[in-house]
Amino acid sequence: MVCDGEVAFQTVLHVHLHVIPRYAGDGWTVVPEPLERGRSLLDVDAQAIKDAIASGE
């Protein structure tokens, strides 16, 4: 599970990773809602990444 950003109560931006051991039958499940981004949004994201790489950010 990755917890980062304002919603994770971070005051200093960093990646926060929890490693939680799992065992068969532990009864703990995480079922995320399926998210599907439209092609136009994916294209915008891809272009932003390309631009950031090109500018050296």
pLDDT at 57: 65
pLDDT at 16 over 80: no
| Residue 55, CA distances (Å) to 10, 14, 30, 52 in order | 28, 22, 38, 5
Q: Which two tokens stand for residue 6?
A: 């304002």
pLDDT at 44: 95
% of the chain surpassing 70 pLDDT = 95
Closest CA to 3 of 22, 18, 13: 18
> Which of 1-10, 17-26, 42-51 is the most confident on average?
42-51
